[in-house]
Structure 1
Amino acid sequence: MSSDDGCRLWTDQIGHGPALVLCHGGPGLWDYLDDVAGLLAAAARTIRWDQRGCGRSQRHGPYTVGRFVADLDAVRDRAAGPRMAMLGHSWGAHLALQYAIEHPDRVSRLVYVSGTGIDPERGWHPDYKRNLRLRLGNHLELWEALSNRARTPAEDREWAVLQWSADFADHSTALRYAQRMATPWLGINYDCNRAITTEVNQKLSTNDFVTRCQSLDVPVLIVDGTEDIRPRWAVDSLEQALPNVQRATLAGAGHLPWVEDPDGFRQAVVGFLTADDGATPDRVHRELPDPR
């Protein structure tokens, strides 16, 4: 499909039921949420898409949050209908939240998975960088060597697999899961990553984002794993700001909780998506047990 400025966007959908649009992370990556779509296919018609400049979508700027919000609205209009539920992961969680703030009348529910919160005062990056190095363990030396030089496409994939392996709690399966994320390898758009990351950081530190979250009249479910190397306290600011929020914390899961605890993830998300509007409780916080 095409956005309103003619940029071609790759999309895919499966399942039956109310529309649920998935927003992948990055920025600069491609959709890797096929497993999420499969888990939720019995409860929703899941719509996946590659953000502009990423994966199978056209390499076409500009790379701005506003432009990505407009692209998401085009996906909603052409594939989902007047109103949709959304699920965003990592950077995609922030994108979905930004969209809900700007277009609350077009959003029925929002699932915010493994985001990094809205706290402009206490940055999460130092903790993330320290945890990343610890989680890499024996792979740290190779990851550092690849980080500090110009990389071929094959080396770029190798570097990404090593870094993504730190997003999984179980060391015995982490590399295999990361390899799967990198297959097929569609290449990281670093220009997109830099532009979007810079803009998000600037907006969180200068605008009234917290105030806008406090007035968001959309039910939100926050889902995260206890073993995510991005500190979970960073999301507390968002949980405290939202007026209608639930939070499901999956014990023993990392940054992609649906991979390491698919049953717990499906239980939390399907329960939230299928609950009656009048039965959606405010400020429910529960921790689901480690399936291992």
Structure 2
Amino acid sequence: MAVVVRTEDGCRLWADQAGAGPPLVLCHGGPGMWDYLGPVARLLDDRVRVIRWDQRGCGRSERRGPYTVDRFVADLDAVREQLGGPRVAVLGHSWGAHLALRYALDHPERVSHLVYVSGTGIDPERGWHPHYERNLRRRLEPHRDRWEALEAGPHTPAVEREQAVLQWSADFADPDTALRHAEDMATPWLGLNRDCNRAVNAEVKRELREADLAARCRALDLPVLIIDGPEDIRPRSGVDSLHQALSNCERVSLPGSGHLPWVESPYDFRLAVTTFIDATA
């Protein structure tokens, strides 16, 4: 059921909730994208009440800033307060994994469980990024000329969508189904907010360099599950520093899956999440 969450500064956020049980709030990646985690909700909504939302300026939410990490943490808190209740589990994917982690660090008393899916860790040197660039180009090889031509041309909505589909196809392990999965992510096409992407990514880089997130993670006293796909083009070693800093953390790698492990390993993804929440309830 779609609803509107209004933040304290008056921004209207699209949200959706389904299922019954303890609340689980999902945080999509990007930044600058919309919620694409409907398949995750459908995997879990017989066990938990799943709450999804489009982040500020993205998808069906109001297109307005400011685009800062603290502002997104506050928006997530508004979603939690208005739809989830006093304490929720939070699952974040990619950039959304960092957002979920920051929320748990800022408001640990409001989080029962943290599920960190395909994030990129807290290494201030971002040592994973050069490997990601090489892996992206390698996996895009069959479509690389077209992808580069689209990047160099005018960015109309149709061009932006085609380029995104090609790039997102690299996030899947199986080349035979990668384009189809990427098309599913891009349907419906709600447009990318590049201003949001640039601003938040730049701030995250600064935060990793200047804030001692490892020390804050060592003090975090709540259960954390890290889920990885070993075929992710972002090397999973980037998450090692986060895993080592957390005192109450499990880590699961789902064979045969890339950056979106629930797509390519749905049964194992569901089992990992539900077992974790049930065991630490």
| TM-score of the pair, normalised by structure 1 | 0.94
Alpha-carbon separation, structure 1, partners of 2:48 and 2:159: 38
Q: Which residue of 1 aligns with 2:83?
A: 79
Decide which of 174, 192, 196 is 1:192's aligned counterpart. Answer: 196
Deviation at 1:152, TM superposition (A): 1.1
Count, aligned residues: 277
**CA deviation profile, 1:33-87 (whole Å, cap 9, x unmatched):** 0000000011100000000000000001000000000000000000000000000
Decide which of 138, 154, 158 is 2:158's aligned counterpart. Answer: 154
Alpha-carbon separation, structure 2, partners of 1:153 and 1:163: 15
**CA deviation profile, 1:147-203 (whole Å, cap 9, x unmatched):** 123221100000000000000000000000000100000000000000000000001
Alpha-carbon separation, structure 2, partners of 1:46 and 1:146: 36
Q: What does residue range 109-120 of structure 1 map to in structure 2 within 5 Å?
A: 109-120=113-124
**CA deviation profile, 1:184-234 (whole Å, cap 9, x unmatched):** 000000000000000000010111111101101110000010100001000
Alpha-carbon separation, structure 2, partners of 1:2 and 1:241: 35
CA contact (8 A) 2:94 2:120 kept: yes
Q: What does residue range 27-38 of structure 1 map to in structure 2 within 5 Å?
A: 27-38=31-42
Q: What does residue range 39-118 of structure 1 map to in structure 2 within 5 Å?
A: 39-118=43-122
Alpha-carbon spacing, 1:9–1:122, altered in 2? closer, same or farther (3 Å): closer
Q: Which residue of 2 aligns with 1:179?
A: 183
Q: What does residue range 260-271 of structure 1 map to in structure 2 within 5 Å?
A: 260-271=264-275
**Structure 1: unaligned runs, 5 residues or longer:** 278-292
SS in 1 for 2:137: helix
SS in 2 for 1:87: strand
Alpha-carbon separation, structure 1, partners of 2:6 and 2:87: 19
SS in 1 for 2:43: helix
SS in 2 for 1:171: coil
CA contact (8 A) 1:43 1:274 kept: no
1:8 equivalenced with 2:9 (yes/no): no
Alpha-carbon separation, structure 2, partners of 1:192 and 1:74: 19
Structure 2 counterpart of 1:75, which letter? V
Higher deviation after alignment, 158-167 or 114-123 = 114-123
Alpha-carbon separation, structure 2, partners of 1:66 and 1:56: 21
Q: Which residue of 1 aligns with 2:172?
A: 168
Structure 1 counterpart of 2:11, which letter? C
Structure 1 counterpart of 2:110, which letter? R
Deviation at 1:122, TM superposition (A): 4.6
**CA deviation profile, 1:266-291 (whole Å, cap 9, x unmatched):** 010000011145xxxxxxxxxxxxxx
CA contact (8 A) 1:11 1:50 kept: yes
1:205 equivalenced with 2:209 (yes/no): yes
Structure 1 counterpart of 2:220, which letter? L
Structure 1 counterpart of 2:178, which letter? A
Alpha-carbon separation, structure 2, partners of 1:208 and 1:262: 35
Q: Which residue of 2 aligns with 1:273?
A: 277
Q: Which residue of 1 aligns with 2:142?
A: 138
CA contact (8 A) 2:108 2:220 kept: yes
